[in-house]
Structure 1
Amino acid sequence: MGTAKQSLEMAKGIQLGSIALLHALQSQLHSVVVVVRKDDLLEWLSEEVLTYVESGRCRFAVCAEAELGMAHSLKSGIQAAGQTNVEGIMVMLADQPFIEGEMLTRLIDTFGSEADYDFVASGDKGVPKPPVILGRRMWPAAVSLEGDAGARTLFQLPLYRGQIVEEEDSLRFMDIDTEERYQEARKIYSRKYMLT
């Protein structure tokens, strides 16, 4: 996009980066780690998010190699979150404004329902997409990924067992990668969530 996507305004006073983050913070997740670039001034954080930061439920991990691809941000997040005593880490993207809380709840409940799951992924017509939950056994492989490779490449390996939780509304997977997509998402967001 040529700009910091987190700061893009979806509606007056609502920045893209805070939308999915708030859903994560309002979910059953124990804590939330936000992976940011080293030069991120965090001006996109909403006042509501800042209250979670102050309480310690939300913290930040700086990824010095973010420009090298998604795998480096994933590695930073797993290393930071993996320092706590958790069995799974949910991976979300900041540029997906139509992620909703019940979607996260379904993933958490599915992961918790089967002790042997290595992953649970959201499904878009059978294709695994973020948000996803990675179990502890997958973390070493996930942190060894390079460039723009995401964890999806690991789901096809016979070594890991998991489940895809289908989402009927493909809008939830819309991410903001171009100016055109941003303008389209703003219109949808305004119609869907804002009072007119």
Structure 2
Amino acid sequence: MQTTGIVLAAGKSTRLGRDKLSVTMPDGRSLAAWTLEAALNSGLDQVVCVVKPEDSLEWVSEVWLRTSSYTYNPESRFRIALCRDYSGGMANSLHCGIWTAMEYRPKGVLILMADQPLLTTEEINHVAAVLGANPMCDYVSGTDGEGGKPPVAFRSHMFGPLLSLHGDMGARKMLRNPKYQGVQVTLPQESFWDADTEPQLQRILNYAEKRMWREA
């Protein structure tokens, strides 16, 4: 099943008070690079990264930047999408990602938050595979036992409802709507950790360092 990944990286980092995307992780890569590269190393057919126009993209590895495209190019799997109205809320970033993904005519999209760096390539592949294996569902979401959460994959017939969101409404609104039927995939709790505040960021950094030691 052709699935395009959408990495939402155009947030304002208001609660953290500094640019979370460029925070250095224990291995020297940036926080958002962990998320983006997990997606790029997955089985997703394309990966669209939604960013602010003023983003320097210094947090993206030069290796990946060389393979990227800012316009539709069937030969390039990595697409950078500039969201010029990102300040209007998360829905605008989501719209930008959906419209860009639609150029590739995928059967579904898988939405990722750039500030959840502990999500792994294997978990991304798992969510995408479950969407492909359940043709009657509208979406597949991750869960830690407390409801559906990103990463979340939607079938193409859900693009319209997603494009109807506005302001700070994110994809979770779809998950709470009884009109739509979904499958939840249990993922490790840390896969959902985001970096909205300094304590949350420190928790991520501490866990990432321990995981690196375990994998060494």
TM-score between the two structures when normalised by the length of structure 1:
0.92
Matches of 1:45 and 1:58, distance apart in 2: 12
Give the drift of 1:26.
0.7
Greater Cα offset, 2-11 or 75-84: 2-11
Q: Which residue of 2 aligns with 1:82?
A: 102
| Equivalent residue for 2:207, pick from 180, 188, 195 | 188
Q: Which runs of 5+ in 1 are unaligned?
A: none
Greater helix share, 1 or 2? Answer: 1
| Equivalent residue for 2:47, pick from 32, 39, 45 | 32
Q: Which residue of 2 aligns with 1:166?
A: 186
Matches of 1:53 and 1:40, distance apart in 2: 15
Identity %: 34
**Does 2:130 match 1:110?**
yes
Give the drift of 1:102.
1.5
Q: Which runs of 5+ in 2 are unaligned?
A: 1-15, 70-74
CA offset digits 1:22-45 (Å, max 9, x no partner): 111111100100000111010100
What RMSD, in angstroms, separates the aligned Cα atoms of the two structures? 1.8
Q: Which residue of 1 aligns with 2:34?
A: 19
Q: Which residue of 2 aligns with 1:179?
A: 198
Give the drift of 1:137.
1.3
Q: Which residue of 1 aligns with 2:6?
A: none
Give 4+ residue runs of structure 1 displaced > 3 Å after superposition: none
CA contact (8 A) 1:18 1:49 kept: no
Query: What pairs with 1:117-156 in structure 2 (closer than 5 Å)?
Result: 117-156=137-176
Q: Which amino acid letter does the alignment assign opposite residue 187 of structure 1?
A: N
Matches of 2:125 and 2:131, distance apart in 1: 10
Matches of 2:128 and 2:66, distance apart in 1: 24
Q: Secondary structure at the match of 2:25?
A: strand
